[in-house]
């Protein structure tokens, strides 16, 4: 069975791609949550320093994951990126097929939750729902802005940039967005869902998850609209986000 789009039949087998998305999202969540726990323990009296440690670690970790797993799955690690890939590429037949996009989403969400549980085990913290209610107006506006910027950046870069440039740029954007958005830039539904299972520095209360998801979807729609206004031909390279997968002759 060929689960790739018609223009990308040589992509790695779907199982390998889903495994890469599962691992990548899980490790990304482990990086976010683990560095948050470590920062809280190492700098207990300085929230600003905790955020700096958390943001730098996340930016570096995300860049590494994109380079490591991008050739297999494209390194989406984010449901809004996979949905945008499908939406933008559907007419040019350059993006994910609908069933593949849904499979990516499932792998990302499950991987994220596993990443949280793994981090709890590494730091010997009992898994529990977070009590950190982030659902304020400022946080939600921040999520719209952060997600819109991320979608715009990734699909604009897919037109021309190399893998190394894209990895560095996406990592830098997420690291910066920790600071210039009121929400500290979740910008990822899978990461948002996963982070409600940790009552630590990086957690989010279950009651805030749905508003965050809605803000992220709105931000993704805004990012797509801006992309099409600025780069009308970006739909032709949607399948190359975040970075192009490498041809695989063994299926």
- Tens of pLDDT, residues 153-166: 999 999 998 999 99
Residue 202 scores a pLDDT above 50: yes
pLDDT at residue 194 in the model: 98
Confidence of residue 8 (pLDDT cuts 50, 70, 90): very low
Residue 6 scores a pLDDT above 90: no
CATH of domain 12-240: 1.20.1080.10
**Phi, psi angles (nearest 5°) of residue 241:** -90, 145
Residue 199 scores a pLDDT above 80: yes
pLDDT at residue 248 in the model: 63
How many beta carbons lie within 10 A of that of residue 230, not counting itself?
Answer: 10
CA-CA distance, 160 to 241, in Å (whole number)?
A: 11
Q: What is the mean pLDDT of residues 49-73?
A: 97
CA-CA distance, 76 to 98, in Å (whole number)?
A: 15
Q: What DSSP line would sit under 62-105, residue for residue?
A: HHHHHHHHHHHH----SHHHHHHHHHHHTTTT-S--HHHHHHHH
Backbone conformation region of residue 248, classed left if phi is above 0, alpha if psi is from -120 to 50, else beta = beta
Confidence of residue 11 (pLDDT cuts 50, 70, 90): confident
The overall average pLDDT reported for the chain is 93
pLDDT at residue 50 in the model: 96
CA-CA distance, 152 to 126, in Å (whole number)?
A: 37
DSSP annotation of 11: S
Residue 250 scores a pLDDT above 80: no
pLDDT in tens, 99-130: 999 999 999 999 999 999 999 999 999 989 99
Residue 251 scores a pLDDT above 60: no
Residue 1 scores a pLDDT above 80: no
Torsion on CA atoms 117, 78, 90, 228, rounded to nearest 10:
170
Confidence of residue 247 (pLDDT cuts 50, 70, 90): confident
CA-CA distance, 213 to 242, in Å (whole number)?
A: 21
pLDDT at residue 16 in the model: 97
Closest among 222, 90, 204 to 148, alpha carbons compared = 222
Domain ranges of the chain: 12-240
Nearest-5° angle of CA 149, CA 224, CA 103? 95
Residue 9 scores a pLDDT above 60: no
Provide, rounded to the nearest whole percent, the portion of the chain with pLDDT above 70: 94
pTM of the complete model: 0.92
């Amino acid at each position: 069975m060929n689960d790739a789009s018609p223009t990308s039949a040589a992509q790695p087998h779907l199982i390998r791609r889903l495994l890469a998305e599962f691992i990548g999202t899980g490790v990304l969540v482990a990086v976010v949550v683990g560095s948050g726990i470590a920062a809280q323990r190492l700098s207990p009296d300085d929230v600003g320093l905790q955020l700096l440690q958390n943001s730098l670690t996340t930016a570096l970790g995300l860049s590494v994951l994109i380079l490591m797993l991008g050739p297999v799955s494209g390194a989406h690690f984010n449901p809004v990126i996979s949905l945008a890939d499908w939406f933008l590429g559907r007419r040019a037949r350059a993006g994910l097929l609908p069933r593949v996009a849904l499979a990516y989403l499932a792998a990302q969400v499950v991987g994220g939750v596993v990443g949280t549980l793994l981090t709890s085990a590494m730091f010997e913290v009992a898994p529990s729902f977070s009590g950190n209610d982030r659902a304020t107006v400022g946080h939600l506006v921040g999520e719209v802005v952060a997600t819109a910027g991320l979608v715009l950046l990734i699909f604009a870069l897919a037109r021309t940039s190399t893998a190394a440039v894209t990895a560095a740029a996406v990592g830098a954007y997420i690291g910066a967005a920790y600071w210039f958005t009121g929400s500290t830039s979740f910008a990822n539904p899978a990461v948002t869902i996963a982070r409600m299972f940790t009552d630590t520095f990086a957690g989010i209360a279950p009651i805030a998850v749905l508003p965050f998801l809605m803000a992220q979807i709105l931000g993704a729609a805004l990012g797509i609209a801006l992309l099409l206004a600025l780069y009308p031909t970006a739909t032709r390279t949607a399948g190359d986000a975040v970075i192009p997968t490498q041809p695989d002759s063994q299926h």
